Structure 1
């Protein structure tokens, strides 16, 4: 498996991308891969889309500088509150099997999140935990089974 970084042509670049997309990684393989990654604290973009895992491994906490996480099309059934002390600004979790019960109960550790994409999942209710995301600018919920939007949606005008 190759690790691609965007700084391969410019050693002074501050952006480092780890692209593990389209590798058919399952839960067990992914956890082992995360434990073997050297210097995860330097990765700020992690692309895991198009794999086969149902939940994120706990070892994802090693990526303490993560700004963007793409976990689209993986078959995720849960999205736990794993991002403590993580400066995540963009979370893309579209086209999974996420339900309201599978989402973290709060997003309190996502204080920097500006973009959240939960489109194409199995949400049936508006996820009220997004109302606490004070810097959120883009929210994508299309392609779910949401029939009603909370009256508190105005709180997102911040």
Structure 2
């Protein structure tokens, strides 16, 4: 993580990636001094509500992360950045997304955990679009123009207000991942009761892996004097890329365990 003091002192000249998370309420104009080299800008975890109108001065910018801030709309200046391909504004307060806010070379759009009720048709006119992460919003429909996005391979729309899935989803040639749990279209299925394990009966050890929704750690379960090896998933938040952790846990419980696999546990 970089510091604002180093940025203002000119000590970051020539860098390609800038990470600033220091309670910013305004965009530091000194960032423009890095325009000749800056490709990745991460301003997540601040208090920003806007971006400068001339953001396009960062002519080499390819990746922009501004998650965990206080935006209420997707800034239209983002759409003016000619090389911008990945845009992430997760966990803001975004209610509006205008067509003008979508950069022409957009490949990934990450708007998880916001308040978006609708998306512009222009989104389907981004031919390079590959990943669309929209879980935890208020969407009731998806733009029909997305049927034209033949490179679209991942769509995450869990925890919205969708009552049906559009037919064109099945016609997307590259689609490999679709997550839509916790929408009105999903009927709840009863599951068999599962034993709850007190947290104090688990001891966590090394990390085994990490995904979009959480971290998997090796654990030992202390069960009635016996010790059993286990894997425990620690979720990153109440809303993840695939919706609520409760939906993922319910799916795992409903699927059961493969033959020869250890007993499934819930902490």
Shorter chain as denominator, the TM-score bin is: 0.7 to 0.9
| Residue of structure 1 in register with 2:98 after alignment | 104
| Residue of structure 1 in register with 2:18 after alignment | 18
Unaligned runs of 5+ residues in structure 1 are: 9-13
| Residue of structure 2 in register with 1:148 after alignment | 141
Q: Kindly indicate whether residue 70 of structure 2 is the aligned counterpart of residue 68 of structure 1.
A: no
The structure whose Rg is larger is 2
Residues 86, 15 of structure 1: alpha-carbon distance in 2 compared, 3 angstrom cutoff: farther
TM-score (norm 1): 0.77
Kindly report the root-mean-square deviation, in angstroms, between the aligned alpha carbons of the 2 structures.
Answer: 2.3
Residues 60, 88 of structure 1: alpha-carbon distance in 2 compared, 3 angstrom cutoff: same
Shift of 1:136: 0.5
Where is the strand percentage greater, Structure 1 or Structure 2? 2
Structure 1 residues 115-152: Cα deviation after superposition (integer angstroms, max 9, x where no partner): 11111111012343311111010011111011222333
**1:9-158 matches, cutoff 5 A:** 16-20=16-20, 22-27=21-26, 30=27, 33-35=28-30, 37-83=32-78, 84-100=80-96, 103-107=97-101, 110-158=103-151
Shift of 1:59: 4.5
User: The residue matched to 2:36 in structure 1 has which SS?
Assistant: helix
Q: Residues 107 and 132 of structure 1 are in contact (CA less than 8 Å); yes or no, is this contact kept in structure 2?
A: no
Unaligned runs of 5+ residues in structure 2 are: 152-267
TM-score (norm 2): 0.48
- Size of the aligned set, in residue pairs, is 141
User: The residue matched to 1:38 in structure 2 has which SS?
Assistant: helix
Shift of 1:157: 2.5
